[in-house]
Structure 1
Amino acid sequence: MGKYAQLVIGPAGCGKSTYCNHLYEHCQAIQRTVHVVNLDPAAEAFAYPVSLDIRDLVALEDVTEELGLGPNGGLLYCMEYLEDNLHDWLGAELESYGEDDYLVFDCPGQIELYNHLSVFRSFVDFLKQDGWSVCVVYCLDSHFVTDVAKYMAGALQALAAMVKLELPHVNILTKVDLLEDKRHLEDFLIPDPALLLPQLAASTGPRFAQLNKAMGSLLDEFSLVSFLPLDITDEDSIADILGQIDMAIQYGEDAEPRIREDEIREADEEGDGGDGGDDI
Protein backbone atom coordinates (compact mmCIF):
# COMPACT_ATOMS: atom_id res chain seq x y z
CA MET A 1 0.00 0.00 0.00
CA GLY A 2 2.36 2.71 1.20
CA LYS A 3 3.52 4.66 4.22
CA TYR A 4 1.05 7.16 5.70
CA ALA A 5 1.22 9.81 8.41
CA GLN A 6 -0.88 12.44 10.15
CA LEU A 7 0.77 15.60 11.47
CA VAL A 8 -1.48 16.78 14.32
CA ILE A 9 -0.89 20.49 14.96
CA GLY A 10 -2.67 23.47 16.50
CA PRO A 11 -2.51 25.93 19.42
CA ALA A 12 -1.61 24.82 22.94
CA GLY A 13 -4.50 23.23 24.82
CA CYS A 14 -6.66 22.70 21.75
CA GLY A 15 -7.04 18.95 22.25
CA LYS A 16 -4.33 17.47 20.00
CA SER A 17 -3.34 14.70 22.40
CA THR A 18 -6.99 13.92 23.16
CA TYR A 19 -7.62 13.59 19.43
CA CYS A 20 -4.59 11.30 19.06
CA ASN A 21 -5.78 9.10 21.91
CA HIS A 22 -9.36 8.94 20.61
CA LEU A 23 -8.07 8.13 17.11
CA TYR A 24 -5.85 5.37 18.51
CA GLU A 25 -8.75 3.82 20.45
CA HIS A 26 -11.01 4.00 17.39
CA CYS A 27 -8.38 2.29 15.22
CA GLN A 28 -7.94 -0.40 17.86
CA ALA A 29 -11.69 -1.01 17.79
CA ILE A 30 -11.76 -1.40 13.99
CA GLN A 31 -8.57 -3.52 14.05
CA ARG A 32 -6.46 -0.99 12.22
CA THR A 33 -2.86 -0.48 13.30
CA VAL A 34 -1.57 3.03 13.97
CA HIS A 35 1.58 4.17 15.77
CA VAL A 36 1.46 7.43 17.74
CA VAL A 37 4.65 9.50 17.85
CA ASN A 38 5.29 12.19 20.46
CA LEU A 39 6.97 15.27 18.98
CA ASP A 40 6.44 17.48 22.05
CA PRO A 41 9.68 17.67 24.09
CA ALA A 42 7.69 19.13 27.02
CA ALA A 43 5.15 16.29 27.25
CA GLU A 44 5.01 14.37 30.51
CA ALA A 45 2.22 11.77 30.34
CA PHE A 46 0.23 10.05 27.61
CA ALA A 47 -3.10 8.26 27.47
CA TYR A 48 -1.95 6.32 24.40
CA PRO A 49 1.10 4.05 23.93
CA VAL A 50 4.01 6.02 22.47
CA SER A 51 5.81 4.25 19.65
CA LEU A 52 8.46 6.94 19.14
CA ASP A 53 9.37 9.83 21.45
CA ILE A 54 11.33 13.00 20.69
CA ARG A 55 12.39 13.08 24.34
CA ASP A 56 14.75 10.22 23.52
CA LEU A 57 16.58 12.80 21.41
CA VAL A 58 16.01 16.00 23.37
CA ALA A 59 13.78 16.94 26.32
CA LEU A 60 12.66 20.44 27.29
CA GLU A 61 13.49 19.91 30.96
CA ASP A 62 17.12 19.10 30.14
CA VAL A 63 17.43 22.08 27.81
CA THR A 64 16.03 24.60 30.31
CA GLU A 65 18.32 23.29 33.05
CA GLU A 66 21.51 23.16 30.98
CA LEU A 67 21.06 26.29 28.87
CA GLY A 68 19.01 28.45 31.23
CA LEU A 69 16.28 29.05 28.64
CA GLY A 70 12.62 29.73 29.38
CA PRO A 71 9.83 27.40 28.26
CA ASN A 72 9.28 29.00 24.84
CA GLY A 73 12.95 29.51 24.07
CA GLY A 74 13.71 26.00 25.25
CA LEU A 75 11.00 24.52 23.04
CA LEU A 76 12.28 26.38 19.98
CA TYR A 77 15.78 25.10 20.74
CA CYS A 78 14.45 21.52 20.99
CA MET A 79 12.65 21.74 17.66
CA GLU A 80 15.66 23.30 15.93
CA TYR A 81 17.74 20.46 17.37
CA LEU A 82 15.25 18.02 15.86
CA GLU A 83 15.54 19.82 12.52
CA ASP A 84 19.34 19.42 12.66
CA ASN A 85 18.99 15.69 13.42
CA LEU A 86 16.22 14.66 11.05
CA HIS A 87 18.44 12.32 9.05
CA ASP A 88 20.56 10.97 11.90
CA TRP A 89 17.81 10.41 14.50
CA LEU A 90 14.42 10.39 12.82
CA GLY A 91 15.70 8.68 9.70
CA ALA A 92 17.19 5.90 11.79
CA GLU A 93 14.02 5.52 13.87
CA LEU A 94 11.79 5.34 10.80
CA GLU A 95 13.82 2.52 9.29
CA SER A 96 11.82 0.11 11.45
CA TYR A 97 8.60 1.23 9.72
CA GLY A 98 7.76 0.22 6.20
CA GLU A 99 4.93 -0.46 3.80
CA ASP A 100 1.43 -0.31 5.28
CA ASP A 101 2.58 1.55 8.43
CA TYR A 102 0.54 4.52 9.64
CA LEU A 103 2.06 7.12 11.98
CA VAL A 104 0.29 9.87 13.93
CA PHE A 105 2.61 12.68 15.05
CA ASP A 106 1.40 14.49 18.18
CA CYS A 107 3.05 17.90 17.89
CA PRO A 108 3.77 20.84 20.25
CA GLY A 109 1.32 23.71 20.60
CA GLN A 110 3.44 26.72 19.60
CA ILE A 111 1.82 27.96 16.39
CA GLU A 112 4.93 29.82 15.22
CA LEU A 113 6.43 26.39 14.53
CA TYR A 114 3.88 25.89 11.75
CA ASN A 115 3.29 29.42 10.53
CA HIS A 116 6.68 31.02 9.91
CA LEU A 117 9.59 28.92 11.23
CA SER A 118 11.30 26.36 9.01
CA VAL A 119 11.35 23.34 11.33
CA PHE A 120 8.07 21.70 10.35
CA ARG A 121 8.47 22.50 6.68
CA SER A 122 11.84 20.70 6.89
CA PHE A 123 10.12 17.89 8.80
CA VAL A 124 7.37 17.30 6.24
CA ASP A 125 9.83 17.59 3.35
CA PHE A 126 11.92 14.88 5.00
CA LEU A 127 8.89 12.61 5.41
CA LYS A 128 7.84 13.09 1.78
CA GLN A 129 11.35 12.35 0.54
CA ASP A 130 11.28 9.16 2.63
CA GLY A 131 8.12 8.06 0.83
CA TRP A 132 5.45 8.99 3.40
CA SER A 133 2.06 10.34 2.35
CA VAL A 134 1.30 13.05 4.90
CA CYS A 135 -1.87 14.90 5.92
CA VAL A 136 -1.91 17.84 8.33
CA VAL A 137 -4.65 17.72 10.96
CA TYR A 138 -5.11 21.22 12.38
CA CYS A 139 -7.01 21.29 15.69
CA LEU A 140 -8.90 24.36 16.89
CA ASP A 141 -10.82 24.51 20.17
CA SER A 142 -14.55 24.79 19.42
CA HIS A 143 -14.76 27.32 22.27
CA PHE A 144 -13.44 29.78 19.65
CA VAL A 145 -16.87 29.79 18.00
CA THR A 146 -18.26 31.63 21.04
CA ASP A 147 -16.10 34.65 20.10
CA VAL A 148 -16.12 35.48 16.40
CA ALA A 149 -12.86 37.49 16.64
CA LYS A 150 -11.05 34.49 18.14
CA TYR A 151 -12.60 32.22 15.54
CA MET A 152 -11.43 34.43 12.66
CA ALA A 153 -7.92 34.48 14.15
CA GLY A 154 -7.95 30.69 14.46
CA ALA A 155 -9.17 30.24 10.88
CA LEU A 156 -6.41 32.53 9.59
CA GLN A 157 -3.82 30.59 11.61
CA ALA A 158 -5.04 27.39 9.97
CA LEU A 159 -4.78 29.07 6.55
CA ALA A 160 -1.23 30.22 7.33
CA ALA A 161 -0.23 26.65 8.25
CA MET A 162 -1.78 25.38 5.01
CA VAL A 163 0.24 27.87 2.96
CA LYS A 164 3.45 27.17 4.88
CA LEU A 165 3.35 23.36 4.85
CA GLU A 166 1.70 22.80 1.43
CA LEU A 167 0.13 19.46 2.34
CA PRO A 168 -3.35 17.94 2.29
CA HIS A 169 -5.03 19.61 5.24
CA VAL A 170 -7.99 18.67 7.45
CA ASN A 171 -9.15 21.20 10.05
CA ILE A 172 -10.99 20.01 13.16
CA LEU A 173 -13.10 21.83 15.73
CA THR A 174 -12.29 19.91 18.89
CA LYS A 175 -14.20 19.60 22.18
CA VAL A 176 -17.59 19.92 20.49
CA ASP A 177 -18.97 17.66 23.22
CA LEU A 178 -18.19 20.42 25.75
CA LEU A 179 -20.12 23.14 23.92
CA GLU A 180 -23.20 24.17 25.87
CA ASP A 181 -24.91 25.66 22.83
CA LYS A 182 -24.43 23.84 19.51
CA ARG A 183 -27.26 25.55 17.64
CA HIS A 184 -24.99 27.78 15.54
CA LEU A 185 -22.06 25.38 15.17
CA GLU A 186 -22.89 24.73 11.51
CA ASP A 187 -22.24 28.41 10.74
CA PHE A 188 -18.59 27.94 11.69
CA LEU A 189 -17.78 24.70 9.88
CA ILE A 190 -17.51 26.57 6.58
CA PRO A 191 -16.67 30.25 7.27
CA ASP A 192 -19.24 32.54 5.64
CA PRO A 193 -18.17 36.21 5.79
CA ALA A 194 -21.76 37.32 5.21
CA LEU A 195 -22.65 35.77 8.58
CA LEU A 196 -19.43 36.44 10.45
CA LEU A 197 -18.55 40.02 9.49
CA PRO A 198 -21.61 41.65 11.14
CA GLN A 199 -20.74 39.85 14.39
CA LEU A 200 -17.10 40.84 14.03
CA ALA A 201 -18.01 44.47 13.41
CA ALA A 202 -20.18 44.53 16.53
CA SER A 203 -17.33 43.22 18.69
CA THR A 204 -14.42 45.26 17.30
CA GLY A 205 -15.78 48.72 16.50
CA PRO A 206 -16.03 50.77 13.28
CA ARG A 207 -12.33 51.63 12.92
CA PHE A 208 -11.58 47.97 12.16
CA ALA A 209 -14.22 47.71 9.42
CA GLN A 210 -11.76 47.61 6.52
CA LEU A 211 -9.48 45.14 8.28
CA ASN A 212 -12.44 42.88 9.10
CA LYS A 213 -13.59 43.00 5.49
CA ALA A 214 -10.10 42.14 4.25
CA MET A 215 -9.87 39.13 6.56
CA GLY A 216 -13.31 37.93 5.51
CA SER A 217 -12.41 38.33 1.85
CA LEU A 218 -9.20 36.36 2.39
CA LEU A 219 -11.09 33.38 3.77
CA ASP A 220 -13.88 33.70 1.20
CA GLU A 221 -11.76 34.12 -1.93
CA PHE A 222 -9.43 31.22 -1.23
CA SER A 223 -12.21 28.99 0.17
CA LEU A 224 -9.56 26.71 1.67
CA VAL A 225 -10.59 26.71 5.31
CA SER A 226 -13.39 24.52 6.58
CA PHE A 227 -13.78 22.46 9.74
CA LEU A 228 -15.01 19.05 10.80
CA PRO A 229 -16.52 18.73 14.30
CA LEU A 230 -14.93 16.31 16.77
CA ASP A 231 -17.23 14.99 19.50
CA ILE A 232 -15.35 12.31 21.44
CA THR A 233 -18.63 10.94 22.81
CA ASP A 234 -19.77 10.10 19.26
CA GLU A 235 -17.86 7.28 17.54
CA ASP A 236 -19.20 8.36 14.14
CA SER A 237 -17.47 11.71 14.61
CA ILE A 238 -13.94 10.29 14.64
CA ALA A 239 -14.87 7.79 11.92
CA ASP A 240 -15.97 10.65 9.62
CA ILE A 241 -12.76 12.58 10.31
CA LEU A 242 -10.57 9.53 9.65
CA GLY A 243 -12.46 8.94 6.42
CA GLN A 244 -11.73 12.48 5.24
CA ILE A 245 -8.04 12.08 6.10
CA ASP A 246 -7.88 8.73 4.30
CA MET A 247 -9.27 10.37 1.17
CA ALA A 248 -6.82 13.25 1.46
CA ILE A 249 -3.79 10.93 1.47
CA GLN A 250 -5.41 8.21 -0.68
CA TYR A 251 -5.02 5.64 2.07
CA GLY A 252 -5.72 2.11 0.89
CA GLU A 253 -6.66 3.04 -2.67
CA ASP A 254 -4.10 0.64 -4.12
CA ALA A 255 -5.01 -2.20 -1.76
CA GLU A 256 -6.47 -5.39 -3.16
CA PRO A 257 -10.22 -5.62 -2.54
CA ARG A 258 -11.05 -8.04 0.27
CA ILE A 259 -14.26 -10.09 0.50
CA ARG A 260 -15.66 -10.39 3.99
CA GLU A 261 -15.91 -13.83 5.56
CA ASP A 262 -19.70 -13.64 5.76
CA GLU A 263 -19.89 -12.86 2.04
CA ILE A 264 -17.71 -15.89 1.28
CA ARG A 265 -19.90 -18.05 3.49
CA GLU A 266 -23.06 -16.82 1.75
CA ALA A 267 -21.52 -17.55 -1.64
CA ASP A 268 -20.62 -21.08 -0.53
CA GLU A 269 -24.14 -21.69 0.76
CA GLU A 270 -25.63 -20.51 -2.51
CA GLY A 271 -23.30 -22.83 -4.38
CA ASP A 272 -24.37 -25.78 -2.24
CA GLY A 273 -28.04 -25.00 -2.76
CA GLY A 274 -28.28 -26.25 -6.36
CA ASP A 275 -30.36 -29.16 -7.61
CA GLY A 276 -27.54 -31.58 -6.85
CA GLY A 277 -27.76 -33.12 -10.34
CA ASP A 278 -23.98 -33.49 -10.59
CA ASP A 279 -23.90 -35.55 -7.39
CA ILE A 280 -25.82 -38.52 -8.85
Structure 2
Amino acid sequence: MPFGQVVIGPPGSGKTTYCNGIAHFFELIGRKTAVINLDPANDSLPYPLVESNVTFQCCYECAVNIEELIKLEDVMAQYDLGPNGGLVYCMDYLEKNIDWLKAKLEPFQDRYLLFDFPGQVELFTLHDNAKNIITEMTKKWDYRLTAVHLVDAHLCSDPGKYVGALLLSLSAMLHLELPHINVLSKIDLIESYGPLAFNLDFYTDVQDLQYLQHHLSEDPRAARYKKLTKNLCEVVEDFGLVNFATLNIQDKESVMDLVKIIDKSNGYVFAGYEGNINAYMKTAAAPVNWDYYRYP
Protein backbone atom coordinates (compact mmCIF):
# COMPACT_ATOMS: atom_id res chain seq x y z
CA MET A 1 0.00 0.00 0.00
CA PRO A 2 2.14 2.94 -1.21
CA PHE A 3 1.67 6.35 0.40
CA GLY A 4 2.47 9.66 -1.20
CA GLN A 5 1.66 13.23 -2.19
CA VAL A 6 0.18 14.80 -5.30
CA VAL A 7 2.01 18.15 -5.49
CA ILE A 8 0.06 20.79 -7.39
CA GLY A 9 -0.12 24.57 -7.61
CA PRO A 10 0.23 27.47 -10.04
CA PRO A 11 3.50 28.01 -11.96
CA GLY A 12 6.16 29.52 -9.74
CA SER A 13 4.62 28.34 -6.49
CA GLY A 14 7.63 26.10 -5.80
CA LYS A 15 6.44 22.57 -6.59
CA THR A 16 9.77 21.18 -7.80
CA THR A 17 11.65 22.94 -5.02
CA TYR A 18 9.17 21.42 -2.59
CA CYS A 19 9.60 17.88 -3.95
CA ASN A 20 13.37 18.19 -3.79
CA GLY A 21 13.39 19.64 -0.27
CA ILE A 22 10.80 17.23 1.14
CA ALA A 23 12.61 14.24 -0.36
CA HIS A 24 15.84 15.36 1.29
CA PHE A 25 14.02 15.78 4.60
CA PHE A 26 12.68 12.24 4.29
CA GLU A 27 16.22 11.04 3.69
CA LEU A 28 17.19 12.55 7.05
CA ILE A 29 14.46 10.68 8.90
CA GLY A 30 15.01 7.40 7.06
CA ARG A 31 11.92 7.37 4.87
CA LYS A 32 12.60 5.80 1.47
CA THR A 33 11.24 8.16 -1.17
CA ALA A 34 10.80 8.31 -4.93
CA VAL A 35 10.11 11.51 -6.89
CA ILE A 36 7.81 11.09 -9.90
CA ASN A 37 7.98 13.91 -12.44
CA LEU A 38 4.65 14.14 -14.30
CA ASP A 39 5.28 17.66 -15.61
CA PRO A 40 6.30 17.43 -19.29
CA ALA A 41 7.27 21.11 -19.20
CA ASN A 42 9.76 20.59 -16.36
CA ASP A 43 12.91 20.32 -18.48
CA SER A 44 15.49 21.20 -15.80
CA LEU A 45 15.01 18.81 -12.91
CA PRO A 46 17.16 19.41 -9.80
CA TYR A 47 17.24 15.67 -9.11
CA PRO A 48 19.07 13.29 -11.49
CA LEU A 49 17.04 10.71 -13.40
CA VAL A 50 17.78 7.09 -12.61
CA GLU A 51 16.56 3.87 -14.14
CA SER A 52 13.95 1.96 -12.12
CA ASN A 53 16.17 -1.11 -11.88
CA VAL A 54 19.10 0.80 -10.36
CA THR A 55 19.51 0.99 -6.59
CA PHE A 56 19.02 4.54 -5.32
CA GLN A 57 22.13 6.29 -4.08
CA CYS A 58 19.95 8.85 -2.29
CA CYS A 59 16.22 9.16 -1.90
CA TYR A 60 15.63 12.39 -3.81
CA GLU A 61 16.56 11.07 -7.25
CA CYS A 62 13.88 11.15 -9.93
CA ALA A 63 12.46 7.64 -10.28
CA VAL A 64 10.04 8.25 -13.17
CA ASN A 65 9.98 11.04 -15.74
CA ILE A 66 6.98 11.58 -18.04
CA GLU A 67 9.36 12.79 -20.76
CA GLU A 68 10.25 9.15 -21.32
CA LEU A 69 6.67 8.81 -22.58
CA ILE A 70 5.88 12.20 -24.10
CA LYS A 71 7.53 15.62 -24.36
CA LEU A 72 5.68 18.92 -24.37
CA GLU A 73 7.92 20.52 -26.98
CA ASP A 74 7.33 17.61 -29.37
CA VAL A 75 3.55 17.88 -28.91
CA MET A 76 3.61 21.64 -29.51
CA ALA A 77 5.66 21.24 -32.68
CA GLN A 78 3.69 18.30 -34.09
CA TYR A 79 0.18 19.60 -33.43
CA ASP A 80 0.83 23.35 -33.55
CA LEU A 81 -0.36 23.82 -29.96
CA GLY A 82 0.54 26.39 -27.35
CA PRO A 83 1.90 25.38 -23.94
CA ASN A 84 -1.54 25.18 -22.31
CA GLY A 85 -3.07 23.05 -25.05
CA GLY A 86 0.08 20.96 -25.18
CA LEU A 87 -0.09 20.20 -21.45
CA VAL A 88 -3.73 19.12 -21.75
CA TYR A 89 -2.75 16.82 -24.61
CA CYS A 90 0.12 15.36 -22.58
CA MET A 91 -2.16 14.61 -19.62
CA ASP A 92 -4.73 13.05 -21.97
CA TYR A 93 -1.97 10.92 -23.47
CA LEU A 94 -0.77 9.84 -20.04
CA GLU A 95 -4.32 8.92 -19.04
CA LYS A 96 -4.69 6.75 -22.13
CA ASN A 97 -1.32 5.12 -21.42
CA ILE A 98 -1.80 4.72 -17.70
CA ASP A 99 -0.36 1.20 -17.88
CA TRP A 100 3.01 2.77 -18.71
CA LEU A 101 2.90 4.69 -15.42
CA LYS A 102 1.80 1.62 -13.48
CA ALA A 103 4.70 -0.41 -14.85
CA LYS A 104 7.18 2.37 -14.08
CA LEU A 105 5.93 2.65 -10.49
CA GLU A 106 5.98 -1.09 -9.83
CA PRO A 107 9.62 -1.21 -8.58
CA PHE A 108 8.88 1.57 -6.07
CA GLN A 109 5.98 0.05 -4.16
CA ASP A 110 8.01 0.16 -0.94
CA ARG A 111 8.74 3.89 -1.25
CA TYR A 112 6.92 7.07 -0.32
CA LEU A 113 5.93 8.71 -3.62
CA LEU A 114 6.07 12.41 -4.50
CA PHE A 115 4.19 13.23 -7.72
CA ASP A 116 5.35 16.53 -9.24
CA PHE A 117 2.44 17.61 -11.45
CA PRO A 118 2.23 20.47 -14.02
CA GLY A 119 1.36 23.95 -12.86
CA GLN A 120 -1.51 24.54 -15.28
CA VAL A 121 -4.40 25.18 -12.91
CA GLU A 122 -7.08 24.10 -15.41
CA LEU A 123 -5.85 20.52 -15.06
CA PHE A 124 -7.04 20.46 -11.45
CA THR A 125 -10.14 22.62 -11.68
CA LEU A 126 -11.71 22.00 -15.11
CA HIS A 127 -10.28 19.03 -16.99
CA ASP A 128 -10.72 15.43 -15.85
CA ASN A 129 -7.50 13.88 -17.18
CA ALA A 130 -5.33 14.52 -14.09
CA LYS A 131 -8.25 13.62 -11.82
CA ASN A 132 -8.77 10.35 -13.68
CA ILE A 133 -5.08 9.48 -13.37
CA ILE A 134 -5.15 10.14 -9.63
CA THR A 135 -8.43 8.23 -9.22
CA GLU A 136 -6.86 5.25 -10.99
CA MET A 137 -4.04 5.27 -8.46
CA THR A 138 -6.25 5.64 -5.40
CA LYS A 139 -9.23 3.46 -6.37
CA LYS A 140 -7.61 0.66 -8.38
CA TRP A 141 -3.97 0.62 -7.27
CA ASP A 142 -4.80 1.32 -3.61
CA TYR A 143 -2.40 4.25 -3.26
CA ARG A 144 -2.92 6.51 -0.23
CA LEU A 145 -2.40 10.03 -1.56
CA THR A 146 -2.79 13.56 -0.24
CA ALA A 147 -3.02 16.59 -2.53
CA VAL A 148 -0.53 19.27 -1.46
CA HIS A 149 -1.60 22.52 -3.12
CA LEU A 150 1.12 25.18 -3.02
CA VAL A 151 0.22 28.87 -3.22
CA ASP A 152 2.89 31.57 -3.24
CA ALA A 153 2.63 33.54 0.02
CA HIS A 154 3.14 36.84 -1.81
CA LEU A 155 -0.52 36.69 -2.91
CA CYS A 156 -1.49 37.61 0.65
CA SER A 157 -0.14 41.12 0.08
CA ASP A 158 -2.80 41.76 -2.59
CA PRO A 159 -6.42 41.22 -1.40
CA GLY A 160 -7.69 40.57 -4.93
CA LYS A 161 -5.04 37.96 -5.67
CA TYR A 162 -5.64 36.37 -2.28
CA VAL A 163 -9.34 35.92 -3.07
CA GLY A 164 -8.34 34.36 -6.37
CA ALA A 165 -6.03 31.95 -4.52
CA LEU A 166 -8.92 31.00 -2.22
CA LEU A 167 -11.17 30.21 -5.17
CA LEU A 168 -8.45 28.21 -6.89
CA SER A 169 -7.80 26.22 -3.71
CA LEU A 170 -11.49 25.52 -3.19
CA SER A 171 -11.98 24.47 -6.83
CA ALA A 172 -9.04 22.06 -6.66
CA MET A 173 -10.32 20.55 -3.41
CA LEU A 174 -13.78 19.91 -4.84
CA HIS A 175 -12.48 18.66 -8.17
CA LEU A 176 -9.82 16.18 -7.02
CA GLU A 177 -11.75 14.70 -4.07
CA LEU A 178 -8.56 13.82 -2.17
CA PRO A 179 -7.32 14.55 1.33
CA HIS A 180 -6.11 18.07 0.65
CA ILE A 181 -3.59 20.40 2.31
CA ASN A 182 -3.29 23.99 1.09
CA VAL A 183 0.12 25.52 1.74
CA LEU A 184 1.40 29.09 1.66
CA SER A 185 4.88 28.48 0.27
CA LYS A 186 7.90 30.81 0.48
CA ILE A 187 6.55 32.11 3.78
CA ASP A 188 10.05 33.33 4.65
CA LEU A 189 9.78 35.89 1.83
CA ILE A 190 6.33 37.22 2.64
CA GLU A 191 7.57 40.43 4.28
CA SER A 192 9.60 41.33 1.20
CA TYR A 193 6.38 41.86 -0.78
CA GLY A 194 5.13 44.62 1.50
CA PRO A 195 3.15 44.85 4.74
CA LEU A 196 0.11 42.66 5.22
CA ALA A 197 -3.25 44.24 5.94
CA PHE A 198 -3.88 41.71 8.74
CA ASN A 199 -1.97 39.26 10.89
CA LEU A 200 -0.82 36.08 9.17
CA ASP A 201 -3.47 34.08 11.06
CA PHE A 202 -6.16 35.91 9.12
CA TYR A 203 -4.80 34.51 5.86
CA THR A 204 -4.16 30.98 7.11
CA ASP A 205 -7.46 30.50 8.98
CA VAL A 206 -9.60 32.11 6.21
CA GLN A 207 -12.25 33.60 8.46
CA ASP A 208 -14.22 36.87 8.39
CA LEU A 209 -13.37 37.65 4.78
CA GLN A 210 -15.68 40.65 4.85
CA TYR A 211 -12.78 42.58 6.37
CA LEU A 212 -11.10 42.40 2.96
CA GLN A 213 -13.83 44.54 1.40
CA HIS A 214 -12.40 47.81 2.68
CA HIS A 215 -8.96 47.07 1.26
CA LEU A 216 -10.43 45.94 -2.05
CA SER A 217 -12.36 49.21 -2.29
CA GLU A 218 -9.09 51.14 -2.03
CA ASP A 219 -7.83 49.46 -5.20
CA PRO A 220 -9.40 51.20 -8.23
CA ARG A 221 -9.01 48.03 -10.28
CA ALA A 222 -10.96 45.95 -7.77
CA ALA A 223 -13.54 48.51 -6.62
CA ARG A 224 -15.78 47.95 -9.64
CA TYR A 225 -15.97 44.24 -8.77
CA LYS A 226 -16.78 44.81 -5.10
CA LYS A 227 -20.14 43.05 -5.20
CA LEU A 228 -18.76 40.10 -7.15
CA THR A 229 -15.84 39.75 -4.76
CA LYS A 230 -18.19 39.89 -1.77
CA ASN A 231 -20.26 37.04 -3.21
CA LEU A 232 -17.17 34.98 -3.99
CA CYS A 233 -15.93 35.42 -0.43
CA GLU A 234 -19.30 34.22 0.84
CA VAL A 235 -19.00 31.10 -1.32
CA VAL A 236 -15.59 30.30 0.19
CA GLU A 237 -16.88 30.86 3.72
CA ASP A 238 -20.06 28.85 3.13
CA PHE A 239 -18.04 25.80 2.10
CA GLY A 240 -15.76 26.26 5.11
CA LEU A 241 -13.10 23.98 3.62
CA VAL A 242 -10.17 26.26 2.82
CA ASN A 243 -7.36 27.04 5.21
CA PHE A 244 -3.60 27.12 4.83
CA ALA A 245 -0.52 25.66 6.40
CA THR A 246 2.72 27.59 5.97
CA LEU A 247 6.08 26.46 4.66
CA ASN A 248 9.64 27.63 4.50
CA ILE A 249 11.30 24.75 2.65
CA GLN A 250 14.73 25.67 4.05
CA ASP A 251 13.55 25.47 7.67
CA LYS A 252 13.50 21.92 9.05
CA GLU A 253 11.00 22.83 11.76
CA SER A 254 8.61 24.28 9.18
CA VAL A 255 8.96 21.19 6.99
CA MET A 256 8.41 18.91 9.99
CA ASP A 257 5.19 20.69 10.97
CA LEU A 258 3.80 20.32 7.45
CA VAL A 259 4.80 16.66 7.14
CA LYS A 260 2.97 15.90 10.39
CA ILE A 261 -0.25 17.29 8.91
CA ILE A 262 0.19 15.39 5.64
CA ASP A 263 1.00 12.11 7.40
CA LYS A 264 -2.25 12.34 9.35
CA SER A 265 -4.29 13.17 6.26
CA ASN A 266 -3.23 10.13 4.20
CA GLY A 267 -2.90 7.75 7.15
CA TYR A 268 0.87 7.27 6.96
CA VAL A 269 1.24 8.12 10.64
CA PHE A 270 -0.91 5.09 11.51
CA ALA A 271 0.82 2.64 9.16
CA GLY A 272 3.81 1.89 11.36
CA TYR A 273 6.39 2.25 8.59
CA GLU A 274 9.97 3.32 9.07
CA GLY A 275 10.56 7.00 8.56
CA ASN A 276 7.73 8.10 10.81
CA ILE A 277 8.03 11.76 11.70
CA ASN A 278 8.96 10.78 15.26
CA ALA A 279 12.34 9.80 13.87
CA TYR A 280 12.91 13.47 13.21
CA MET A 281 13.98 13.94 16.81
CA LYS A 282 17.01 11.76 16.10
CA THR A 283 18.17 13.95 13.23
CA ALA A 284 17.01 17.41 14.29
CA ALA A 285 20.52 18.45 15.27
CA ALA A 286 22.11 17.21 12.06
CA PRO A 287 23.69 20.04 10.02
CA VAL A 288 22.05 20.47 6.64
CA ASN A 289 23.19 22.68 3.77
CA TRP A 290 19.69 23.62 2.55
CA ASP A 291 21.13 26.04 -0.02
CA TYR A 292 22.35 23.02 -1.93
CA TYR A 293 18.75 21.86 -2.37
CA ARG A 294 17.32 25.20 -3.40
CA TYR A 295 15.91 25.00 -6.91
CA PRO A 296 16.97 28.10 -8.92
TM-score exceeds 0.5: yes
Corresponding residue number in structure 2 for 1:20: 19
The CA distance in 1 between the partners of 2:45 and 2:68, in whole Å, is 15
The CA distance in 2 between the partners of 1:206 and 1:71, in whole Å, is 33
Q: 1:182 to 1:170 in 2, by over 3 A?
A: farther
Task: Give ranges in structure 1 of 5+ residues lacking alignment.
Answer: 261-280
The CA distance in 2 between the partners of 1:256 and 1:52, in whole Å, is 23
Residues 10-159 of structure 1 mapped to structure 2, 5 A cutoff: 10-48=9-47, 49-86=61-98, 88-98=99-109, 100-128=110-138, 129-159=140-170
Corresponding residue number in structure 2 for 1:239: 256
Q: 1:35 to 1:121 in 2, by over 3 A?
A: same
In 2, are the aligned partners of 1:229 and 1:237 still within 8 Å (CA)?
yes
Amino acid at match of 2:4: A
Q: Deviation at 1:250?
A: 0.8
Amino acid at match of 1:190: D
Q: 1:97 to 1:215 in 2, by over 3 A?
A: same
In 1, are the aligned partners of 2:216 and 2:223 still within 8 Å (CA)?
no
Amino acid at match of 2:203: F
Amino acid at match of 1:199: H
Structure 2 SS opposite 1:12: coil
Amino acid at match of 1:70: G
Q: Deviation at 1:182?
A: 7.0
Amino acid at match of 1:222: F
Q: 1:182 to 1:172 in 2, by over 3 A?
A: farther
In the alignment, which of 237, 242, 248 is matched to residue 265 of structure 2? 248
Q: Which protein shows a greater Rg?
A: 1
Q: Does 1:8 align with 2:26?
A: no
Amino acid at match of 1:30: I
Corresponding residue number in structure 2 for 1:185: 200
Q: Does 1:195 align with 2:195?
A: no
The CA distance in 2 between the partners of 1:175 and 1:29, in whole Å, is 22
In 1, are the aligned partners of 2:157 and 2:195 still within 8 Å (CA)?
no
Q: Deviation at 1:92?
A: 1.5
Amino acid at match of 1:157: L
Task: Give ranges in structure 2 of 5+ residues lacking alignment.
Answer: 48-60, 280-296
The CA distance in 1 between the partners of 2:250 and 2:115, in whole Å, is 23
> With structure 2 as the length reference, what TM-score do the two structures score?
0.81
> With structure 1 as the length reference, what TM-score do the two structures score?
0.86
Residues 143-169 of structure 1 show CA distances to partners (whole Å, capped at 9, x for unaligned) of 101101001101110100100011100
Corresponding residue number in structure 2 for 1:275: none
Q: Deviation at 1:205?
A: 5.3
In the alignment, which of 225, 229, 238 is matched to residue 221 of structure 1? 238
Amino acid at match of 1:59: K
In 2, are the aligned partners of 1:175 and 1:232 still within 8 Å (CA)?
yes
The CA distance in 2 between the partners of 1:205 and 1:37, in whole Å, is 40
Q: Deviation at 1:194?
A: 3.4
Amino acid at match of 1:194: Q
Q: Deviation at 1:12?
A: 0.8
In 1, are the aligned partners of 2:21 and 2:250 still within 8 Å (CA)?
no
In 2, are the aligned partners of 1:201 and 1:212 still within 8 Å (CA)?
no
Q: Deviation at 1:206?
A: 5.0
More displaced stretch, 219-228 vs 152-161: 219-228
